[in-house]
Amino acid sequence: MTQNLKTKIMFFSGLSTKIDEEILSYLPTGYDLKLIKPDVSESDQADLVKDADFIISYRFNPVDSVIRSAKKCKLLQLLAAGYDSVNLGLLREMGIPCSNNGGANSWAVADHAVLLMLALFRRLLDSDNQTKLGNWHGNIDGTNTFEMAGKKVGILGMGNIGKKVAKRVQGFDATVQYSDMYPLEKKVNHELALDHVSMEELFSTSDILSCHSPLTKDTFHIVDGSRLRSMKSTSVLINTSRGPIVNETDLIKALENKIIAGAGLDVFESEPIDPSNKLLKMNNVVSTPHVAGTTWDTWSRRAKFAFENINRVLEGQEPSAVAKDFND
Protein backbone atom coordinates (compact mmCIF):
# COMPACT_ATOMS: atom_id res chain seq x y z
CA MET A 1 0.00 0.00 0.00
CA THR A 2 1.09 3.59 -0.53
CA GLN A 3 0.81 6.23 2.15
CA ASN A 4 1.23 9.96 2.23
CA LEU A 5 3.76 10.79 4.96
CA LYS A 6 1.70 13.83 5.87
CA THR A 7 -1.54 11.92 6.33
CA LYS A 8 -2.90 12.55 9.83
CA ILE A 9 -5.31 10.25 11.64
CA MET A 10 -7.08 11.08 14.91
CA PHE A 11 -8.26 7.98 16.77
CA PHE A 12 -11.08 8.70 19.26
CA SER A 13 -10.88 5.65 21.50
CA GLY A 14 -12.98 4.57 24.45
CA LEU A 15 -11.02 1.32 24.64
CA SER A 16 -8.50 -0.13 27.05
CA THR A 17 -4.77 0.39 26.57
CA LYS A 18 -4.32 -3.25 25.60
CA ILE A 19 -6.87 -3.00 22.79
CA ASP A 20 -5.51 0.38 21.65
CA GLU A 21 -2.09 -1.20 21.34
CA GLU A 22 -3.48 -4.15 19.39
CA ILE A 23 -5.20 -1.85 16.90
CA LEU A 24 -2.17 0.41 16.53
CA SER A 25 0.03 -2.60 15.81
CA TYR A 26 -1.68 -2.77 12.40
CA LEU A 27 -0.99 0.89 11.55
CA PRO A 28 0.96 0.98 8.28
CA THR A 29 4.23 2.90 8.28
CA GLY A 30 4.08 6.50 7.18
CA TYR A 31 0.91 7.56 8.95
CA ASP A 32 0.79 10.13 11.74
CA LEU A 33 -1.79 8.85 14.23
CA LYS A 34 -2.75 10.50 17.50
CA LEU A 35 -4.82 8.77 20.15
CA ILE A 36 -7.59 10.87 21.73
CA LYS A 37 -9.20 9.55 24.92
CA PRO A 38 -12.48 10.66 26.59
CA ASP A 39 -10.64 12.75 29.21
CA VAL A 40 -9.46 15.21 26.54
CA SER A 41 -11.57 18.40 26.61
CA GLU A 42 -13.87 19.16 23.67
CA SER A 43 -11.94 22.36 22.91
CA ASP A 44 -8.69 20.38 22.73
CA GLN A 45 -10.38 17.73 20.59
CA ALA A 46 -11.52 20.47 18.20
CA ASP A 47 -7.97 21.81 17.94
CA LEU A 48 -6.56 18.34 17.31
CA VAL A 49 -8.94 17.50 14.45
CA LYS A 50 -8.38 20.75 12.53
CA ASP A 51 -5.58 19.16 10.55
CA ALA A 52 -6.93 15.60 10.57
CA ASP A 53 -7.19 13.87 7.21
CA PHE A 54 -9.08 10.97 8.80
CA ILE A 55 -10.88 10.20 12.04
CA ILE A 56 -11.27 6.74 13.52
CA SER A 57 -13.59 6.16 16.48
CA TYR A 58 -14.89 3.46 18.78
CA ARG A 59 -17.13 3.90 21.84
CA PHE A 60 -16.16 7.57 21.84
CA ASN A 61 -17.45 9.56 18.89
CA PRO A 62 -16.52 13.20 18.32
CA VAL A 63 -19.43 15.55 19.10
CA ASP A 64 -20.84 17.98 16.54
CA SER A 65 -18.70 20.93 17.63
CA VAL A 66 -15.58 18.81 17.19
CA ILE A 67 -16.73 17.46 13.81
CA ARG A 68 -17.27 21.03 12.57
CA SER A 69 -13.58 21.69 13.16
CA ALA A 70 -12.53 18.74 11.01
CA LYS A 71 -12.68 20.65 7.74
CA LYS A 72 -9.91 18.59 6.10
CA CYS A 73 -11.34 15.22 7.09
CA LYS A 74 -11.89 12.82 4.20
CA LEU A 75 -13.56 9.99 6.14
CA LEU A 76 -14.92 9.15 9.58
CA GLN A 77 -14.07 5.48 10.02
CA LEU A 78 -15.94 3.62 12.74
CA LEU A 79 -14.54 0.43 14.23
CA ALA A 80 -18.07 -0.53 15.28
CA ALA A 81 -20.88 -1.82 13.09
CA GLY A 82 -23.56 0.56 14.41
CA TYR A 83 -23.68 4.20 13.41
CA ASP A 84 -26.96 5.42 14.90
CA SER A 85 -25.07 7.55 17.45
CA VAL A 86 -23.29 9.50 14.68
CA ASN A 87 -24.72 12.71 13.22
CA LEU A 88 -24.73 11.59 9.59
CA GLY A 89 -26.64 14.71 8.56
CA LEU A 90 -23.82 16.96 9.75
CA LEU A 91 -21.20 14.74 8.13
CA ARG A 92 -23.08 14.84 4.84
CA GLU A 93 -23.33 18.63 5.11
CA MET A 94 -19.54 18.75 5.50
CA GLY A 95 -18.92 16.24 2.73
CA ILE A 96 -17.43 13.65 5.08
CA PRO A 97 -18.45 10.05 4.40
CA CYS A 98 -18.82 7.69 7.37
CA SER A 99 -17.95 4.00 7.14
CA ASN A 100 -18.66 1.27 9.65
CA ASN A 101 -16.45 -1.75 10.26
CA GLY A 102 -17.33 -3.57 7.06
CA GLY A 103 -18.64 -6.65 8.82
CA ALA A 104 -15.47 -7.23 10.84
CA ASN A 105 -17.50 -8.33 13.87
CA SER A 106 -20.01 -10.44 11.94
CA TRP A 107 -18.51 -13.79 13.03
CA ALA A 108 -18.66 -12.78 16.68
CA VAL A 109 -22.26 -11.51 16.51
CA ALA A 110 -23.42 -14.61 14.65
CA ASP A 111 -21.84 -16.84 17.31
CA HIS A 112 -23.53 -14.83 20.05
CA ALA A 113 -26.95 -15.00 18.40
CA VAL A 114 -26.74 -18.79 18.27
CA LEU A 115 -25.47 -18.84 21.86
CA LEU A 116 -28.62 -17.00 22.97
CA MET A 117 -30.82 -19.40 20.99
CA LEU A 118 -29.27 -22.45 22.62
CA ALA A 119 -29.24 -20.88 26.07
CA LEU A 120 -33.01 -20.36 25.83
CA PHE A 121 -33.81 -23.72 24.26
CA ARG A 122 -31.73 -25.64 26.81
CA ARG A 123 -32.51 -23.39 29.81
CA LEU A 124 -28.79 -22.99 30.36
CA LEU A 125 -28.86 -20.29 33.02
CA ASP A 126 -31.55 -22.04 35.04
CA SER A 127 -29.71 -25.37 34.80
CA ASP A 128 -26.45 -23.78 35.90
CA ASN A 129 -28.12 -22.07 38.85
CA GLN A 130 -29.99 -25.19 39.99
CA THR A 131 -26.87 -27.36 39.74
CA LYS A 132 -24.89 -24.90 41.87
CA LEU A 133 -27.71 -24.91 44.43
CA GLY A 134 -27.53 -28.69 44.65
CA ASN A 135 -30.86 -29.28 42.92
CA TRP A 136 -29.93 -32.14 40.60
CA HIS A 137 -31.97 -31.88 37.37
CA GLY A 138 -33.61 -28.83 38.96
CA ASN A 139 -36.42 -27.54 36.79
CA ILE A 140 -35.50 -29.66 33.77
CA ASP A 141 -38.30 -32.20 33.54
CA GLY A 142 -38.20 -33.39 29.93
CA THR A 143 -40.97 -31.06 28.79
CA ASN A 144 -39.26 -27.68 28.78
CA THR A 145 -36.01 -28.01 26.80
CA PHE A 146 -35.71 -28.25 23.04
CA GLU A 147 -33.39 -29.07 20.15
CA MET A 148 -32.52 -26.84 17.22
CA ALA A 149 -32.93 -29.69 14.74
CA GLY A 150 -36.10 -29.43 12.72
CA LYS A 151 -36.89 -25.92 13.94
CA LYS A 152 -37.52 -23.02 11.60
CA VAL A 153 -35.19 -20.06 12.21
CA GLY A 154 -36.42 -16.75 10.84
CA ILE A 155 -33.82 -14.08 10.17
CA LEU A 156 -34.84 -10.43 9.95
CA GLY A 157 -32.19 -8.88 7.71
CA MET A 158 -29.98 -11.08 5.54
CA GLY A 159 -26.68 -9.18 5.55
CA ASN A 160 -23.20 -10.32 6.60
CA ILE A 161 -24.35 -11.40 10.04
CA GLY A 162 -27.64 -12.91 8.89
CA LYS A 163 -25.83 -15.16 6.42
CA LYS A 164 -23.42 -16.37 9.07
CA VAL A 165 -26.27 -17.08 11.49
CA ALA A 166 -28.02 -19.06 8.75
CA LYS A 167 -24.93 -21.18 8.14
CA ARG A 168 -24.48 -21.85 11.85
CA VAL A 169 -28.06 -22.93 12.59
CA GLN A 170 -28.12 -25.11 9.48
CA GLY A 171 -25.24 -26.95 11.13
CA PHE A 172 -27.74 -27.81 13.88
CA ASP A 173 -30.16 -29.15 11.22
CA ALA A 174 -32.52 -26.19 11.45
CA THR A 175 -34.15 -24.71 8.36
CA VAL A 176 -33.83 -21.00 7.57
CA GLN A 177 -36.22 -18.42 6.21
CA TYR A 178 -35.69 -14.68 6.08
CA SER A 179 -37.23 -11.35 5.25
CA ASP A 180 -35.29 -8.42 3.84
CA MET A 181 -36.17 -5.27 1.89
CA TYR A 182 -33.48 -6.31 -0.58
CA PRO A 183 -33.73 -10.10 -0.92
CA LEU A 184 -30.90 -12.17 -2.30
CA GLU A 185 -31.08 -13.45 -5.85
CA LYS A 186 -33.07 -16.65 -6.28
CA LYS A 187 -29.92 -18.49 -7.29
CA VAL A 188 -28.18 -17.43 -4.08
CA ASN A 189 -31.23 -18.40 -2.00
CA HIS A 190 -31.07 -21.86 -3.56
CA GLU A 191 -27.30 -22.21 -3.04
CA LEU A 192 -27.57 -21.20 0.63
CA ALA A 193 -30.78 -23.18 1.24
CA LEU A 194 -32.70 -20.06 2.25
CA ASP A 195 -36.36 -19.19 1.77
CA HIS A 196 -37.29 -15.52 1.35
CA VAL A 197 -40.74 -14.93 2.84
CA SER A 198 -42.98 -12.01 3.67
CA MET A 199 -42.65 -10.25 7.00
CA GLU A 200 -46.00 -11.68 8.06
CA GLU A 201 -44.94 -15.26 7.32
CA LEU A 202 -41.57 -14.74 8.98
CA PHE A 203 -43.17 -13.78 12.30
CA SER A 204 -46.06 -16.24 12.23
CA THR A 205 -44.12 -19.39 11.29
CA SER A 206 -40.64 -19.06 12.84
CA ASP A 207 -39.69 -21.02 15.94
CA ILE A 208 -36.79 -18.63 16.48
CA LEU A 209 -36.81 -15.08 15.15
CA SER A 210 -33.37 -13.46 15.08
CA CYS A 211 -32.97 -9.73 14.34
CA HIS A 212 -30.03 -8.62 12.21
CA SER A 213 -31.16 -5.35 10.66
CA PRO A 214 -29.52 -1.94 10.95
CA LEU A 215 -31.49 0.74 12.78
CA THR A 216 -33.24 2.96 10.22
CA LYS A 217 -36.52 4.81 10.02
CA ASP A 218 -37.98 1.64 8.45
CA THR A 219 -36.73 -0.75 11.13
CA PHE A 220 -37.44 1.37 14.22
CA HIS A 221 -39.91 -0.69 16.33
CA ILE A 222 -40.36 -3.11 13.43
CA VAL A 223 -40.89 -5.77 16.12
CA ASP A 224 -44.00 -4.40 17.80
CA GLY A 225 -47.01 -5.74 19.67
CA SER A 226 -48.89 -6.71 16.54
CA ARG A 227 -46.02 -8.77 15.14
CA LEU A 228 -45.23 -10.32 18.50
CA ARG A 229 -48.85 -11.41 18.84
CA SER A 230 -48.62 -13.13 15.46
CA MET A 231 -45.74 -15.34 16.66
CA LYS A 232 -46.07 -18.88 18.00
CA SER A 233 -46.48 -19.15 21.76
CA THR A 234 -43.50 -21.53 21.74
CA SER A 235 -41.23 -19.18 19.77
CA VAL A 236 -38.33 -17.07 21.00
CA LEU A 237 -37.00 -13.71 19.90
CA ILE A 238 -33.28 -12.93 19.56
CA ASN A 239 -31.92 -9.40 19.16
CA THR A 240 -28.21 -8.75 18.66
CA SER A 241 -28.66 -5.81 16.28
CA ARG A 242 -30.01 -2.58 17.78
CA GLY A 243 -32.35 -2.18 20.76
CA PRO A 244 -34.91 0.20 19.18
CA ILE A 245 -35.71 -2.35 16.47
CA VAL A 246 -37.87 -3.94 19.17
CA ASN A 247 -40.60 -2.07 21.00
CA GLU A 248 -39.46 -2.99 24.49
CA THR A 249 -42.78 -2.18 26.18
CA ASP A 250 -44.58 -4.50 23.77
CA LEU A 251 -41.96 -7.21 24.27
CA ILE A 252 -42.36 -7.10 28.05
CA LYS A 253 -46.12 -7.52 27.68
CA ALA A 254 -45.66 -10.41 25.26
CA LEU A 255 -43.33 -12.20 27.68
CA GLU A 256 -45.50 -11.52 30.72
CA ASN A 257 -48.59 -12.82 28.94
CA LYS A 258 -46.78 -15.85 27.47
CA ILE A 259 -47.49 -14.68 23.92
CA ILE A 260 -43.95 -15.84 23.13
CA ALA A 261 -41.82 -18.24 25.15
CA GLY A 262 -38.68 -16.20 25.65
CA ALA A 263 -36.14 -13.66 24.44
CA GLY A 264 -32.37 -13.47 24.11
CA LEU A 265 -31.23 -9.85 24.13
CA ASP A 266 -27.81 -8.27 23.71
CA VAL A 267 -29.21 -4.80 22.96
CA PHE A 268 -31.85 -2.60 24.56
CA GLU A 269 -33.78 0.57 23.77
CA SER A 270 -31.83 2.49 26.40
CA GLU A 271 -28.22 1.57 27.17
CA PRO A 272 -26.87 0.86 29.69
CA ILE A 273 -30.15 -0.80 30.62
CA ASP A 274 -31.81 0.38 33.83
CA PRO A 275 -31.26 -2.33 36.49
CA SER A 276 -34.96 -2.06 37.37
CA ASN A 277 -36.04 -2.95 33.83
CA LYS A 278 -38.57 -5.82 33.97
CA LEU A 279 -36.67 -7.74 31.31
CA LEU A 280 -33.86 -8.33 33.80
CA LYS A 281 -36.27 -9.95 36.27
CA MET A 282 -37.69 -12.56 33.90
CA ASN A 283 -36.48 -16.15 33.93
CA ASN A 284 -37.43 -16.58 30.27
CA VAL A 285 -35.02 -13.82 29.18
CA VAL A 286 -31.29 -14.22 28.65
CA SER A 287 -29.57 -10.83 28.58
CA THR A 288 -26.03 -9.66 27.80
CA PRO A 289 -24.63 -6.08 27.87
CA HIS A 290 -24.19 -5.30 24.14
CA VAL A 291 -21.10 -7.47 23.83
CA ALA A 292 -22.07 -9.76 20.93
CA GLY A 293 -19.48 -8.23 18.63
CA THR A 294 -16.76 -7.80 21.24
CA THR A 295 -14.14 -10.54 21.07
CA TRP A 296 -10.35 -10.37 20.97
CA ASP A 297 -10.44 -11.90 17.48
CA THR A 298 -12.35 -8.93 16.02
CA TRP A 299 -9.78 -6.21 16.70
CA SER A 300 -7.33 -7.28 14.01
CA ARG A 301 -10.12 -7.37 11.41
CA ARG A 302 -11.50 -4.00 12.51
CA ALA A 303 -8.03 -2.41 12.36
CA LYS A 304 -7.08 -3.91 9.01
CA PHE A 305 -10.37 -2.85 7.43
CA ALA A 306 -10.08 0.69 8.81
CA PHE A 307 -6.56 1.27 7.54
CA GLU A 308 -7.29 -0.37 4.18
CA ASN A 309 -10.36 1.85 3.79
CA ILE A 310 -8.32 4.95 4.60
CA ASN A 311 -5.76 3.92 2.02
CA ARG A 312 -8.54 3.36 -0.50
CA VAL A 313 -9.71 6.96 -0.07
CA LEU A 314 -6.13 8.26 -0.32
CA GLU A 315 -5.82 6.50 -3.66
CA GLY A 316 -8.90 8.29 -4.97
CA GLN A 317 -11.37 5.43 -4.59
CA GLU A 318 -14.74 5.50 -2.88
CA PRO A 319 -14.72 4.21 0.72
CA SER A 320 -16.32 0.85 1.48
CA ALA A 321 -19.15 0.21 3.94
CA VAL A 322 -20.53 3.77 3.86
CA ALA A 323 -23.33 4.33 6.37
CA LYS A 324 -26.74 5.45 5.17
CA ASP A 325 -28.51 8.30 6.92
CA PHE A 326 -31.29 7.25 9.35
CA ASN A 327 -33.54 9.89 7.74
CA ASP A 328 -32.87 8.97 4.10
316/12 Cα distance (integer angstroms): 24
| 8 Å CB contact between 69 and 50 | yes
Helix (H) or strand (E) holding 103: none
Cα–chain-centroid distance for residue 94? 27
| 8 Å CB contact between 107 and 296 | no
Least Cα distance to 157 among 229, 214, 226, 221 occurs for 214
Number of H-type helices and E-type strands within the chain: 12, 12
Residues in the chain: 328
Residues with Cβ < 8 Å from 153, sequence gap 6 or more? 117, 165, 166, 169, 174, 175, 176, 177, 206, 207, 208, 209, 210
Positions of E strands within the chain: 8-13, 32-36, 54-58, 75-78, 98-99, 152-156, 175-179, 194-196, 208-211, 236-239, 262-265, 285-287
Q: Which residue numbers are catalytic?
A: 242, 271, 290
Phi/psi zone of residue 59: left (φ > 0), alpha (ψ -120 to 50 degrees), beta? left
Phi, psi of 266 (to 5 degrees): -105, -10
| 8 Å CB contact between 200 and 154 | no
How does 61-74 read in b/e, with b if 16+ C-beta sit within 10 Å? bbeeebbebbeebb
